[in-house]
């Protein structure tokens, strides 16, 4: 017996713009939670053809199971999904949400007409009875209430609930939070940022607290990113927060998380994209936080596994059967993009700018993608053509990664991280790329004579003091001391200009010590390039040709100069530092072979302060 399909359409005139509403409305996991949809579980964590998922839930004791097609969307205008049921009272459910810009009384503020449509096919008599009650009455009320609430949040620039009225602390958790926060402030943490963190833990919902991103909150709080990150690291050591390392697939940019770097492998499998990818600290691993369970649990149930906000870097996703064509209109920011499908290898490179083509046809063919970059307009009419013999899921995405991620490459190169979390290292034998680092090697000049002239005990104390000076100037420039080797130091920095400033400052302080102390001369060499992270002597360390070359440069220093490689010298920020006459710096270049690199000569620069 076949039953008629039910169709429901609700319209809401809202004061917020589509761009303001999109992060809230298209977060279908949160929306389903807020509209009292039961939690779901995946029948199989491995995605099926073209990212299809098999899901299930139980409602009123009735098991419901379905295959969910991939969500389709055009950011920030519309999205939808189709679900086909194998168990339960429905055979099919289709959802479509559209955000249409509308004028408002305030000429400077665009509003939105939000249209929410649902089509539901009953499978049996139970479905014929349940659909009008559940969707036509109960869901209609909860959808209206939630959409109006999101409009209020969006008007104030919020993308999530800030104040949660149903907060549940662990037994004694709130008292523990306040006590530990006072302890963190007493130990030197910023009282302002600790206060904002306490307020966040007290009021935010579980979705928000399950992944606390320091740079994201720094932007909301209008606080320096580094200060927020360092405060969160101190709060973790105090017991307020826990670390978690989030793995990011290069395609969907999602993935699992782990509590320790020891659990991070160099190769990871993404279940959603069904690909293996090599992990690197620069893009694949992000540090985030969550409240310590003794204060507040932040475990969340899953209410939807898809939705546009799962992949915020994807501008549009469209599922096309073989031979079909679809036209969409897109608004893009200037920059580079790529179009790919799940089953075809590679992708089509795109560039959006004001001189690009306003109308463009992009084809998926069995032969693959064009090698040429296609220029499209920022306001573009695009036609997708599936010229293959199979269904294709078209995915158009930004290639740039978000800049509000505290990556493992950045965090592990901070002195405060290495001081507070010395045990955070990779599994023995694991090697993971950390991208480009500036590597420093130093050594004291004539340290042997120093021991002979002023005695072992006095000389040893002076050497220890010099380590303190180095550690301070390195930390001040966002670097980290990796290890000491006798009188020598190895350190890493994310920015070469900071490394050069740190060494010039260290040389100046050591050459002009407090009265009664012997001046010291510090030899220093800097090189920049790709590095590999490893664990050595139970500590995070680095190796590779960049490290080997940097170690050779220190030997060319005379103790009142810094030797830098051509890679350091070519950095724009370094060139600006060197060319500024107020810094009083001079450079001379020379060419020399280096031990271990006998087949080539290197152009090096000697940086000194003018006398």
Please tell me which residue, 584 or 107, carries the higher pLDDT value. Answer: 584
- List Cβ neighbours of 411 (8 Å cut-off, separation of 6 or more): 229, 287, 417
Residues 335 and 283 in one domain: no
Tell which residue, 483, 492, 489, 498, has the closest CA to residue 439: 492
Residue 112 has pLDDT above 80, yes or no: yes
Confidence of residue 451 (pLDDT cuts 50, 70, 90): low
Three-state SS for 67? strand
3-class DSSP assignment, residue 2: coil
Alpha-carbon gap, residue 165 to 152, rounded angstroms: 16
- CATH code at 511? 3.30.70.1230
Q: Which residues of 523-548 are buried (b: 16+ CB within 10 A; e: fewer)?
A: bbbbbbbebbbbbeeeebbbebebbe
* Shared-domain flag, residues 333 and 281: no
Phi-psi region of 409 (alpha: psi -120 to 50; beta: other; left: phi over 0): alpha
- How far apart CA 417 and CA 481 sit, in angstroms, is 11
Evaluate if residue 517 carries a pLDDT over 80. Answer: no
Q: What's 486's DSSP letter?
A: T
Buried/exposed code over 208-245 (b: 16+ C-beta within 10 A; e: otherwise):
bbbbbbbbbbbeeeebebbebbbbbbbbbbbbbbbbbb
CB atoms within 10 A of CB 603: 11
Q: Is residue 412 part of a domain?
A: no
pLDDT in tens, 181-226: 999 999 999 999 999 999 999 998 888 899 999 999 999 999 999 9
DSSP-based three-state secondary structure for 532: strand
Tell me: the pLDDT tens digits for 314-334? 999 999 999 999 999 999 999
Q: What pLDDT, on a 0 to 100 scale, did the predictor assign at position 585?
A: 93
Helix (H) or strand (E) run with residue 451 in it: helix 447-454
Tokens linked to 257: 């998380």
Number of domains in the chain: 4
Res 173 pLDDT > 70: yes
> Is 258 part of any domain?
yes
Specify whether the CB–CB gap between 564 and 574 falls below 8 A.
Answer: yes
Residues 199 and 330 both lie in one domain? no
pLDDT category at 74 given cuts 50, 70, 90 is very high
Judged against a pLDDT cut of 80, whether residue 178 lies above it is answered with: yes
Beta strands in 153-300 (DSSP E): 241-247, 257-258, 267-270, 275-278, 285-291
pLDDT at position 272, please? Answer: 81
Residue 192 within a domain:
yes
pLDDT at 155: 86
Residues 314 and 292 in one domain: no
Residue 457: pLDDT band (50, 70, 90) is low
CA-to-CA distance for 35 and 145, rounded, in angstroms? Answer: 8
- How much is the mean pLDDT over the chain? 91
pLDDT exceeds 80 at position 1:
no
For residues 538 and 571, membership in a common domain is answered with yes
What is residue 253's predicted lDDT score, i.e. its pLDDT?
86
Query: Residue 64: which pLDDT band, with cuts at 50, 70 and 90?
Result: very high
Q: Dig out the tokens for 474 from the structure.
A: 């390195």
Strand partners, 393: 319
Which of 240, 268, 301 marks a domain boundary? 301
Residues 460 and 599 in one domain: yes
List, for residues 390-402, the tens digit of each pLDDT value: 999 999 999 988 7
> In which domain, by residue range, is 182 found?
173-301
How far is 589 from 568, CA to CA, in rounded Å? 13
- From 108, 127, 155, the end of a domain falls on 155
Query: Inter-axis angle of helices 447-454 and 456-476, to 10 degrees?
Result: 140
Rounded percentage of the chain residues whose pLDDT exceeds 90: 73
Taking residues 1-16, what's their average pLDDT?
91
- Residue 465 φ/ψ, nearest 5 degrees: -65, -40
On whether the CB atoms of residues 564 and 578 are closer than 8 A, the answer is no
Let me know whether 438 and 581 are in one domain.
yes
Write a three-state SS string for 223-283.
CCHHHHHHHHHHHHHHCCEEEEEEECCCCCCCCCEECCHHHCCCEEEECCCCEEEECECCC
Q: Is residue 161 part of a domain?
A: no
Q: Which phi and psi (to 5°) does residue 497 adopt?
A: -65, -40
Split at pLDDT 50, 70, 90, the class of 450 is: low
294 and 320 share one domain: no
For 127-159, the three-class secondary structure string (H helix, E strand, C coil) is HHHHHHHHHHHHHHHHHHHHHHHHHHHHHCCCC
Q: 171: buried, middle or exposed (CB in 10 Å: 19+, 13-18, 0-12)?
A: exposed
How far apart (Å, rounded) are the C-alpha atoms in residues 399 and 91? 38
Task: From 157, 161, 83, select the one nearest 123 (Cα to Cα).
Answer: 83
> Which tokens hold the place of 447?
């340290």
Decide if pLDDT at 164 tops 60: no
As a whole number, mean pLDDT of residues 345-359 equals: 92
**CATH number for position 75:** 3.30.530.20
The percent of residues in the chain predicted with pLDDT above 70, rounded, is 95
- Top-confidence residue, 365 or 403: 365
pLDDT of residue 2: 77
pLDDT number for residue 515: 74
Q: Is residue 160 part of a domain?
A: no
Q: Cβ–Cβ contacts within 10 Å for residue 483, how many?
A: 15
Q: Which of 241, 273, 301 is the last residue of a domain?
A: 301
Return the pLDDT at 348.
Answer: 95
Ramachandran sector of residue 303 (left: φ over 0; alpha: ψ -120 to 50; beta: rest):
alpha
* Burial category of 398 from C-beta neighbours within 10 Å (exposed 0-12, middle 13-18, buried 19 and up): middle
Q: What is residue 239's predicted lDDT score, i.e. its pLDDT? A: 95
CB 400 within 8 A of CB 336: yes
The structure tokens 């036209």 sit at 327
The neighbouring-strand residues paired with 524 are 442, 562
What pLDDT is stored for residue 483 in this prediction?
Answer: 93
- Whether residue 446 is predicted with pLDDT greater than 80 in this model: the reply is no
pLDDT at position 611 is 67
Cβ atoms of residues 104 and 15 within 8 Å: yes
Mean pLDDT, range 136-152, rounded to an integer: 94
Write the pLDDT tens digit of every residue in 467-510.
889 999 999 999 999 999 888 899 999 999 999 999 999 999 98
Q: Which two tokens stand for residue 384?
A: 């997708």
Token pair in block for residue 260: 């320790």
**Strand pairing category for 597-609 and 562-565:** antiparallel
Tokens of 49: 């053809």
Higher pLDDT pick, 450 / 121: 121
What average pLDDT does this structure show over 271-285? 88
| Residue 366 lies inside a defined structural domain of this protein | yes
* pLDDT reported for residue 393: 96
Q: Is residue 97 part of a domain?
A: yes
Top pLDDT among 370 and 108 is at: 370
Structural tokens at position 120? 């539901």
Cα separation, 611 vs 591, whole angstroms: 24
Classify residue 212 by its DSSP letter.
B
Residues 377 and 444 in one domain: no
Residue 11 has pLDDT above 90, yes or no: yes
For residues 493 and 413, is the Cβ–Cβ distance under 8 A?
yes
Taking CA atoms, 187 is separated from 223, 226, 239, 381, 412, in Å, by 20, 18, 13, 57, 22
Which band of pLDDT confidence, cut at 50, 70 and 90, is reported for residue 459?
A: low
Residue 162 forms part of a structural domain = no
Which residues are 318's β-sheet partners?
394
N-to-C CA span, the chain: 96
Whether residue 212 is found in the same domain as residue 96 = no
Same domain as 349, residue 291: no
Q: Are residues 480 and 543 in the same domain?
A: yes
The confidence score (pLDDT) of residue 466 equals 84
**Distance, CA of 394 to CA of 329 (rounded, Å):** 14
Mean pLDDT of 587-603: 85
């Amino acid at each position: 017996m076949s039953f008629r399909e039910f169709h429901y359409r609700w319209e809401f005139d809202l004061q917020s713009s589509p761009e303001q509403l999109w992060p809230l409305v298209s977060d279908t996991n949160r929306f389903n939670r807020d509209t009292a949809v039961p939690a779901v579980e995946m029948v199989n964590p491995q995605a099926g053809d073209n990212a299809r998922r098999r899901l299930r839930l139980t409602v009123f004791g009735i098991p419901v199971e379905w295959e969910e097609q991939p969500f389709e969307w055009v950011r920030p205008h519309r999205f939808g999904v189709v679900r086909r049921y194998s168990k339960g009272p429905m055979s099919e459910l289709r959802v479509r949400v559209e955000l249409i810009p509308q004028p408002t009384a305030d000429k400077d503020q665009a509003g939105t007409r939000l249209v929410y449509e649902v089509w539901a096919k009953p499978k049996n008599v139970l479905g014929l009875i349940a659909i009008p009650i559940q969707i036509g009455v109960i869901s209609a009320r909860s959808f209206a209430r939630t959409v109006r609430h999101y409009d209020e949040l969006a008007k104030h620039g919020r993308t999530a609930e800030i104040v949660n009225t149903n907060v549940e602390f662990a037994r004694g958790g709130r008292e523990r939070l306040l006590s530990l926060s006072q302890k963190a402030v007493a130990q030197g943490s910023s009282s302002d940022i600790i206060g904002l963190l306490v307020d966040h833990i007290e009021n935010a919902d579980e979705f928000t607290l399950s992944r606390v991103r320091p740079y994201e909150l720094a932007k909301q709080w209008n606080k320096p990113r580094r200060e927020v990150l360092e405060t969160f690291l101190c709060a973790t050591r105090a017991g307020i927060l826990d670390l978690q390392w989030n793995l990011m697939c290069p395609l969907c940019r999602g993935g699992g998380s782990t509590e320790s770097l020891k659990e991070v492998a160099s190769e990871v499998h993404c279940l959603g994209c069904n690909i293996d990818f090599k992990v690197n600290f620069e893009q694949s691993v992000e540090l985030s936080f969550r409240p310590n369970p003794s204060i507040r649990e932040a475990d969340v149930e899953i209410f939807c596994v898809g939705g546009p906000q799962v992949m915020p870097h994807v501008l549009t996703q469209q599922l096309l059967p073989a031979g079909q064509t679809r036209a969409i209109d897109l608004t893009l920011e200037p920059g580079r993009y790529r179009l790919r499908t799940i089953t075809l290898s590679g992708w089509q490179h795109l560039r959006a700018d004001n001189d690009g083509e306003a109308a463009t046809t992009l084809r998926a063919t069995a032969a693959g993608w064009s090698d040429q970059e296609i220029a499209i307009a920022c306001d573009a009419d695009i036609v997708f053509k599936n010229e293959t013999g199979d269904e294709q899921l078209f995915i158009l995405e930004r290639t740039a990664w978000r800049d509000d991620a505290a990556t493992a490459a950045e965090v592990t190169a901070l002195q405060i991280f290495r001081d507070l979390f010395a045990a955070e290292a990779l599994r023995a034998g694991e090697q993971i790329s950390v991208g480009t680092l500036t590597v420093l090697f130093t050594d004291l000049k004539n340290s042997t004579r120093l021991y002979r002239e002023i005695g072992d005990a006095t000389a040893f104390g002076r050497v220890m003091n010099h380590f303190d000076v180095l550690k301070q100037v390195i930390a001040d420039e966002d670097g980290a001391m990796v290890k000491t080797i006798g009188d020598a130091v190895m350190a890493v920095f994310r920015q070469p200009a900071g490394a050069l400033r740190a060494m010039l400052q260290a040389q100046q302080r050591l050459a002009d010590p407090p009265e009664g102390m012997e001046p010291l001369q510090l030899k220093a060499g800097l090189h920049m390039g790709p590095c590999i992270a490893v664990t050595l002597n139970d500590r995070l360390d680095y190796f590779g040709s960049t490290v080997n070359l940097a170690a050779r440069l220190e030997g060319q220093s005379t103790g009142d100069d810094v030797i830098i490689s051509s890679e350091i010298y070519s950095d724009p920020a370094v060139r600006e530092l060197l060319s500024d006459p107020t810094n009083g710096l001079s450079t001379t270049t020379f060419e020399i072979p280096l031990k271990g690199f006998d087949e080539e000569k290197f152009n090096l620069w000697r940086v000194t302060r003018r006398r």
